[in-house]
Structure 1
Amino acid sequence: MPASAPAPQPGSLFQGPLFLGIDTGGTYTDAVLWTPSGSDKGTVIAKAKSLTTRHDLSEGIAGAAGRVLQQAGVAPGDVKLVSMSTTLATNALVEGQGGRVALVMVGFGQADLERDGLKTALGSDPVLFLPGGHDVHGNPTPLDTSALEDALPDLAQTVSGVAVCAYFATRNPAHELAVRDRIRERTGLPVTTSHELTSKLGGPRRALTTLLNARLIAMIDRLVAATESWLDGQGIQAPLMVVRGDGALVSASFARQRPIETILSGPAASLVGARHMTGLDNALVSDIGGTTTDVAVLDKGRPRLDPEGATVGGFRTMVEAVAMRTFGLGGDSEVALEDGGLLPAIRLGPRRLVPLALLGQAHGKMVHDALERQLRTPNPGRLDGRFALRTGVPEHLAAGLTAPEAKLYDAITASPQPLDRLLTSTAQVATLNRLVGRGLIHIAGFTPSDAAHVLKRQSNWNRDAADLGARLFARRKDGRGQPIAPDAETISSRVLTALTRRSAEVILETAFAEDGLDGPATVAHPLVQNALNKRSGIAGMSLAVDRPVIGLGASAPLHYASLPDLLNQTCAVPEDTDVANALGAVVGQVRVSVEVRVSQPKEGLFRASLGERQADYNAEAPAMAAAEDHARTAAAEKARDAGADDPQITIEHAVTAATVEDQRTFIEAIITATATGRPRVAV
Structure 2
Amino acid sequence: MALLLGIDTGGTFTDAVLYDESSGVVAKAKSLTTHHDLAIGVGGAVGAVLEQSRIDPAAIALVSLSTTLATNAMVEGQGGRVGLVYIGFDAADAERPDLKAALGGDPVLLIGGGHDAMGHQRAPLDAVTLAAEVKLLAPSLTGFAVTGRFAVLDPSHEIAAREILRRETGLPVTCGHELSAKLDGPKRALTCVLNARLIHLLEALIAATEGRLSVLGISAPLMVVRGDGSLVAAEVAKTKPIETIFSGPAASAVGGAFLARAPDALVSDIGGTTTDVVVLREGRPRIDPAGALIGGFRTMVEAIAIRTCGLGGDSELMLEQHGLESHLKLGPRRAVPLSLLAIEHGELVHGTLERQLRADLPNELFGRFALRLNPSRAELPALEAEVLARLEKGPQAADKLIQNRRELNALQRLVNRRLAIMASLTPSDAAHGLGLHQAWDKEAAAKGMLLFSRRRNAMGLPFAETPDILARLIIATLTRRSAEFLLECALAEDGFREAGLSRHALAAAALDGHSGLVRIGLSLTTPVVGLGASAATYYGDIAGLVGAPSLVPEHAEVANAVGAVVGGVHVSAEVKVLQPVEGIFRVFTRGGTRDITDISEALAFAEVTARAQAEAEALQAGAAAVETSVAVEQKKAVAEGREIFVEALVTARASGRPRISG
TM normalised by structure 2 equals 0.87
**What 5-or-longer segments of structure 2 have no aligned partner?**
none
Q: Give 1:72's aligned amino acid.
A: S
Q: String of CA shifts for 1:595-636, please: whole Å, max 9, x gaps.
A: 12233445565544323x532425355654554343233222
Residue 431 of structure 1 and its aligned partner are, at CA, apart by 6.3
In structure 2, the CA distance between the partners of 1:370 and 1:627, relative to structure 1 (3 Å rule), is farther
Q: String of CA shifts for 1:99-124, please: whole Å, max 9, x gaps.
A: 36457373365687666x666666x5
In structure 2, the CA distance between the partners of 1:373 and 1:365, relative to structure 1 (3 Å rule), is same
Counterpart secondary structure, 2:540: coil
Q: Give 1:490's aligned amino acid.
A: I
Residue 33 (structure 2) aligns with: 52
Q: String of CA shifts for 1:455-491, please: whole Å, max 9, x gaps.
A: 3322212234434444454455544455533454433
Q: String of CA shifts for 1:508-539, please: whole Å, max 9, x gaps.
A: 11211111111643212211112112235544
Q: 2:36 aligned with 1:80, yes or no?
A: no
Residue 47 (structure 2) aligns with: 66
Q: Give 1:336's aligned amino acid.
A: M
Q: 2:179 aligned with 1:200, yes or no?
A: no
Counterpart secondary structure, 1:322: coil
- Does structure 2 conserve the Cα–Cα contact (< 8 Å) formed by 1:191 and 1:214? yes
- Whole-angstrom distance in 1 between the partners of 2:399 and 2:517: 51
Residue 647 (structure 2) aligns with: 668
- Whole-angstrom distance in 1 between the partners of 2:434 and 2:184: 51
1:186-585 map, 5 Å? 190-312=172-294, 315-338=297-320, 340-372=322-354, 380-391=362-373, 399-401=377-379, 412-413=391-392, 415-420=394-399, 422=401, 440-518=419-497, 520-535=499-514, 538-585=517-564
- Whole-angstrom distance in 2 between the partners of 1:241 and 1:28: 20
- Whole-angstrom distance in 2 between the partners of 1:280 and 1:255: 29
Q: Give 2:289's aligned amino acid.
A: P
In structure 2, the CA distance between the partners of 1:190 and 1:478, relative to structure 1 (3 Å rule), is farther
Q: String of CA shifts for 1:139-161, please: whole Å, max 9, x gaps.
A: 4468789899889878855x766
- Whole-angstrom distance in 1 between the partners of 2:418 and 2:497: 32
In structure 2, the CA distance between the partners of 1:388 and 1:679, relative to structure 1 (3 Å rule), is same
In structure 2, the CA distance between the partners of 1:181 and 1:422, relative to structure 1 (3 Å rule), is farther
Q: String of CA shifts for 1:518-562, please: whole Å, max 9, x gaps.
A: 164321221111211223554441111112211111100112131
Residue 27 (structure 1) aligns with: 12
In structure 2, the CA distance between the partners of 1:440 and 1:205, relative to structure 1 (3 Å rule), is farther
Counterpart secondary structure, 1:321: coil
Residue 270 of structure 1 and its aligned partner are, at CA, apart by 2.5
Q: Give 2:510's aligned amino acid.
A: A
Residue 592 (structure 2) aligns with: 614
In structure 2, the CA distance between the partners of 1:176 and 1:160, relative to structure 1 (3 Å rule), is same
Range moving further from structure 2, 49-58 or 371-380 = 371-380
Counterpart secondary structure, 1:575: coil
- Does structure 2 conserve the Cα–Cα contact (< 8 Å) formed by 1:657 and 1:665? yes
Q: String of CA shifts for 1:137-187, please: whole Å, max 9, x gaps.
A: 344468789899889878855x76665555444334456556666766676
Counterpart secondary structure, 1:560: helix
Q: Give 2:597's aligned amino acid.
A: A
Q: 2:635 aligned with 1:656, yes or no?
A: yes
Residue 644 of structure 1 and its aligned partner are, at CA, apart by 0.4
- Whole-angstrom distance in 2 between the partners of 1:192 and 1:201: 17
In structure 2, the CA distance between the partners of 1:495 and 1:190, relative to structure 1 (3 Å rule), is farther
In structure 2, the CA distance between the partners of 1:92 and 1:363, relative to structure 1 (3 Å rule), is farther
Q: How many residues align?
A: 655
- Whole-angstrom distance in 1 between the partners of 2:69 and 2:208: 14
- Whole-angstrom distance in 1 between the partners of 2:598 and 2:493: 39
- Whole-angstrom distance in 2 between the partners of 1:436 and 1:233: 36
- Does structure 1 conserve the Cα–Cα contact (< 8 Å) formed by 2:181 and 2:574? yes
- Whole-angstrom distance in 2 between the partners of 1:444 and 1:301: 39
**What 5-or-longer segments of structure 1 have no aligned partner?**
1-15
Q: Give 2:550's aligned amino acid.
A: C
- Does structure 2 conserve the Cα–Cα contact (< 8 Å) formed by 1:391 and 1:414? no
- Does structure 2 conserve the Cα–Cα contact (< 8 Å) formed by 1:130 and 1:143? no
In structure 2, the CA distance between the partners of 1:600 and 1:45, relative to structure 1 (3 Å rule), is same
Q: Give 1:70's aligned amino acid.
A: E
Q: Give 1:256's aligned amino acid.
A: K
- Does structure 1 conserve the Cα–Cα contact (< 8 Å) formed by 2:479 and 2:538? yes
- Whole-angstrom distance in 2 between the partners of 1:213 and 1:450: 39
In structure 2, the CA distance between the partners of 1:240 and 1:436, relative to structure 1 (3 Å rule), is farther
Residue 34 of structure 1 and its aligned partner are, at CA, apart by 1.8
Q: 2:98 aligned with 1:98, yes or no?
A: no
Residue 589 of structure 1 and its aligned partner are, at CA, apart by 1.3
Q: Give 2:332's aligned amino acid.
A: P
TM normalised by structure 1 equals 0.84
Counterpart secondary structure, 2:576: strand
Percent sequence identity is 48
Residue 415 of structure 1 and its aligned partner are, at CA, apart by 2.2
- Does structure 1 conserve the Cα–Cα contact (< 8 Å) formed by 2:131 and 2:164? no
- Does structure 2 conserve the Cα–Cα contact (< 8 Å) formed by 1:312 and 1:326? no
- Whole-angstrom distance in 2 between the partners of 1:99 and 1:226: 17
Q: Give 1:83's aligned amino acid.
A: S
Q: Give 2:578's aligned amino acid.
A: S
Residue 12 (structure 1) aligns with: none
- Whole-angstrom distance in 2 between the partners of 1:536 and 1:120: 52
Residue 615 (structure 2) aligns with: 636
Residue 504 of structure 1 and its aligned partner are, at CA, apart by 1.0
Residue 655 of structure 1 and its aligned partner are, at CA, apart by 2.4
- Whole-angstrom distance in 2 between the partners of 1:178 and 1:485: 69
Residue 71 of structure 1 and its aligned partner are, at CA, apart by 1.7
In structure 2, the CA distance between the partners of 1:674 and 1:474, relative to structure 1 (3 Å rule), is same
